[in-house]
A and B are shown apart, each in its own frame.
Chain A
Amino acid sequence: MSAVTVQNLVKTYASGGRRATDDVSLEVADGEFLVLVGPSGCGKTTLLRMVAGLETPDSGRVSIGGRDVTDLPARERGLSMVFQSYAIFPHMRVRQNIGFGLTMRKVPRDEFDRRVARAAELLRLTDYLDRYPAQLSGGQRQRVAVARAIVVDAAVLLMDEPLSNLDALLRLQFRAELKRIVSQLGTTTLYVTHDQAEAMSLGDRVAVMRDGRVAQLGPPLSVYDRPSDRFVGGFLGSPPMNFLTARVRDGLLAIGDASLPAPDQLSTWDGRDVVVGVRAENIQVSAQARPGWLPARVEVVEPTGAALLLTVRLGDEQLKVQAPTTFQATPDQPLHLYAPQDSLRFYDPETSLALPLTSPSAASSPSPVTSPSP
């Protein structure tokens, strides 16, 4: 009913020169929570604002629920939005702020009261309805902004970094609350953030954006597990994915002086360099040498509470490794590393794109996967 479809959206700002969004197409299914994530300046907010109708695209179409809304003003698109700066009205009490959309729709008094009360209850604002925003804390103002957005029962909910102005603890609390509220409502949601942890935890699907394009779109875990290029792997996850250069030689993968058996996937890459990507939590550590394990040296030990984050040196490369807290590690200590073959991802060193999962048929040249289907 209220799917959002974006087709070939192009937007160039007069001051920018390069394109803020470069031919972006994507679809948010009805009731889906899609997160746009990427570093600042990647075009995610521009994309959201074009869907909202606050920005006019140079070309391309936006449709909501099958209706082309590209040329409609924001107020006729049937959506609601939470802004990064909250954008609640300082001269109105919380009640009027939450009910603003209802006032504009000329909702009758008793229905206004009922719906505002419900939204306030959902966001635990009932005791604050008669206050002015200046008398609220940052977290409460954020709740007001969310309550104002959900009270109108719009078909599509847009959120522009709604948690970025909250402190770390509050952000974590409110993130879970937001997820609960949005899944209760079942509204189609498009959510923008630069925080990869937020993207992973909230989205049904995640679109990682870079330089005005969608680099990868898929369910959070599959994007995390199988990044389609080095950028995505390096952006999602904390610590980011490790990348090391290795040479494929006679069915072996040579990393520095050591080597591992190479998977079939690399059979056509014999004699060439590949980039190996591996997540910190997929690397196992051991103080003793074992057959097939790679020797390395500890450089930095950072306890994170739940685990130990080790920075280790493997030949010329630096790796982040997540070790159990029981592992005894001191700087300069030698240790041995092992990563199961199915946790290794391979990238073309020139294009930075992921190599195809299965070995291509003998004759064809290796063509990297550009967009693995989610």
Chain B
Amino acid sequence: MSRRRRWHRAAVQAACVAITLFMGVPIYLIALAALSSRESLNRFPLPLLPTDPSTETMSTFLSSTGVTGGFLNSLTVGLGTVALALLVGVPGGYAVARYAFRGRDTYQLFLLLTRALPIVVLSVPLARVFLDTGLYDTTYAVMLLHTALALPTTVLITAAIFVGVPHEQEEAAMIFGASPPQAFLRVVAPQALPGIAAAAMFAFMLSWNEVLGATVLTLNQRTLPAQVLTTLADSPLAYRFAGGLALVLPALVFIAVMRRYLLNMWGTTLR
């Protein structure tokens, strides 16, 4: 029995290591290639340790036209998407969690339907609408599209977390003098922070990685992935690695920052 358990534990450990490697190795290789000189990249066999570090490729990439602008656009769109998705999605999630209304279950199911449509199908008619309203080729256009894409998960994630905060706590807050918004802000929101952080992370990642819609909806105000996709297709290999690293790093930083809120702040797991 104990032997079986030991085997079981070893297998779990091995699986964890394998998954970590699966996620980590590509990032390492990209970072390695992006921070090596262009010559060392063509060497054979390729050294797997940073034997010849150089920031030359990276700095050339970062100073090339459109990269800084794309980076700033991506950041604007990403943070804007997070803000909009939370602004609309958190109340939505709260409603789904707290109120029994006609068609709630159907609503939850159909929420995900936006994600069933291919982005191209969505963005071409959207491009028309944005052209008519003058939003075309602005970061707002991309922000709106990304918000629409992020909303279903925002609603579902926050709803799941609001269900975990007992309604009696809100009632207690209201008995002791809080209005419904105050009860939400003082009692529910702090406890729902981990879920809200997860939803924010999700929205940001989605926006940061989304290429197709951003390409269709902009010409000059490209986000970084859209910019990288169009300009780097014909660039030398080394610059593609540099572009990859430039795309991965901010996402990792954002996750690291939000992770703080995912972990619990008062010593217990929620529920």
CB contacts under 8 Å to A, within B195-235, are none
With beta carbons under 8 angstroms apart, the residue of B166, B175, B182, B187 that contacts A52 is B175
Cβ of A89 within 8 Å of any chain B Cβ, yes or no, is yes
Cβ of B190 within 8 Å of any chain A Cβ, yes or no, is yes
Which residues from A are CB-within-8-Å of B251?
Answer: none
Interface centre among A52, A104, A152 (most CB of B within 10 A): A104
Cβ of B172 within 8 Å of any chain A Cβ, yes or no, is yes
Encode contact with B along A42-86: 1 for CB under 8 Å, 0 otherwise: 000000000011100000000000000000011100011101110
Which residues from A are CB-within-8-Å of B187?
Answer: 89
B177 touches A101 (CB 8 A): yes
Please judge, given known A-B contacts A54-B171, A74-B171, A83-B171, whether A90 and B177 are in contact too, CB under 8 Å: no
Cβ of B173 within 8 Å of any chain A Cβ, yes or no, is yes
Which residues from B are CB-within-8-Å of A52?
Answer: 171, 175
Cβ of A135 within 8 Å of any chain B Cβ, yes or no, is yes
Which residues from B are CB-within-8-Å of A90?
Answer: 191, 266, 268, 270
B266 touches A75 (CB 8 A): no
A/B pair count, beta carbons within 8 Å: 70
Please judge, given known A-B contacts A89-B169, A91-B266, A132-B267, whether A74 and B191 are in contact too, CB under 8 Å: no
Which residues from A are CB-within-8-Å of B267?
Answer: 132, 134-135
The CA of A124 and the CA of B172, in the complex, are separated in Å by 22
A75 touches B168 (CB 8 A): no
The CA of A87 and the CA of B169, in the complex, are separated in Å by 5
B174 touches A75 (CB 8 A): yes
B166 touches A87 (CB 8 A): yes
Expressed in whole angstroms, the minimum distance between the Cβ of A183 and any Cβ of chain B is 22
Please judge, given known A-B contacts A54-B171, A85-B166, A85-B168, whether A91 and B265 are in contact too, CB under 8 Å: yes
A81 touches B179 (CB 8 A): no
Expressed in whole angstroms, the minimum distance between the Cβ of B139 and any Cβ of chain A is 36
B172 touches A83 (CB 8 A): yes
The CA of A280 and the CA of B176, in the complex, are separated in Å by 45
Cβ of B262 within 8 Å of any chain A Cβ, yes or no, is no
Please judge, given known A-B contacts A87-B166, A87-B168, A89-B169, whether A79 and B265 are in contact too, CB under 8 Å: no
Cβ of A105 within 8 Å of any chain B Cβ, yes or no, is yes
B172 touches A87 (CB 8 A): yes
Please judge, given known A-B contacts A87-B166, A135-B267, whether A100 and B173 are in contact too, CB under 8 Å: yes
Cβ of A148 within 8 Å of any chain B Cβ, yes or no, is yes
Which residues from A are CB-within-8-Å of B265?
Answer: 91
A15: nearest chain-B partner, CB-CB: B100
A79 touches B177 (CB 8 A): no
Encode contact with A along B237-271: 1 for CB under 8 Å, 0 otherwise: 00000000000000000000000000001111010
B268 touches A81 (CB 8 A): no
Q: How many residues of B contact A (CB 8 A)?
A: 21
Which residues from B are CB-within-8-Å of A88?
Answer: 169, 172
Expressed in whole angstroms, the minimum distance between the Cβ of B241 and any Cβ of chain A is 44
CB contacts under 8 Å to B, within A94-112, are 100-101, 104-105
A87 touches B266 (CB 8 A): no
Which residues from B are CB-within-8-Å of A81?
Answer: 172, 175
Which residues from B are CB-within-8-Å of A80?
Answer: 175-176
With beta carbons under 8 angstroms apart, the residue of B168, B174, B190, B191 that contacts A73 is B174
The CA of A73 and the CA of B171, in the complex, are separated in Å by 11
The CA of A53 and the CA of B173, in the complex, are separated in Å by 13
A77: nearest chain-B partner, CB-CB: B175
The CA of A90 and the CA of B172, in the complex, are separated in Å by 13
B176 touches A152 (CB 8 A): yes
A104 touches B182 (CB 8 A): yes
Please judge, given known A-B contacts A90-B266, A90-B268, A134-B268, whether A75 and B176 are in contact too, CB under 8 Å: yes
The CA of A216 and the CA of B88, in the complex, are separated in Å by 51
Cβ of B178 within 8 Å of any chain A Cβ, yes or no, is yes
CB contacts under 8 Å to A, within B155-180, are 166, 168-169, 171-179
Which residues from A are CB-within-8-Å of B173?
Answer: 89, 100, 104
Encode contact with B along A150-194: 1 for CB under 8 Å, 0 otherwise: 001000000000000000000000000000000000000000000
The CA of A104 and the CA of B172, in the complex, are separated in Å by 12
A76: nearest chain-B partner, CB-CB: B177
Please judge, given known A-B contacts A83-B168, A87-B169, A90-B191, whether A74 and B268 are in contact too, CB under 8 Å: no
Expressed in whole angstroms, the minimum distance between the Cβ of A205 and any Cβ of chain B is 24
B171 touches A104 (CB 8 A): no
Which residues from A are CB-within-8-Å of B191?
Answer: 89-91
Please judge, given known A-B contacts A134-B266, A135-B267, whether A87 and B177 are in contact too, CB under 8 Å: no
Which residues from B are CB-within-8-Å of A89?
Answer: 169, 172-173, 187, 191
Expressed in whole angstroms, the minimum distance between the Cβ of A85 and any Cβ of chain B is 5
* 6 nearest CB pairs, A to B: A104-B177, A101-B176, A134-B268, A87-B168, A87-B172, A91-B190
Give me 6 A-to-B residue pairs in the complex whose CB atoms sit less than 8 angstroms apart, sorted by A's number: A52-B175, A73-B179, A90-B270, A91-B191, A104-B182, A148-B176
List the interface of chain A (C-beta within 8 A of B): 52-54, 73-75, 79-81, 83-85, 87-91, 100-101, 104-105, 132, 134-135, 148, 152
List the interface of chain B (C-beta within 8 A of A): 166, 168-169, 171-179, 182, 187, 190-191, 265-268, 270
For the complex with contacts A74-B175, A91-B265, A100-B176, 9 further pairs of A-B residues with Cβ separation under 8 Å are A54-B174, A83-B168, A83-B172, A89-B172, A89-B173, A90-B191, A101-B177, A104-B173, A132-B266
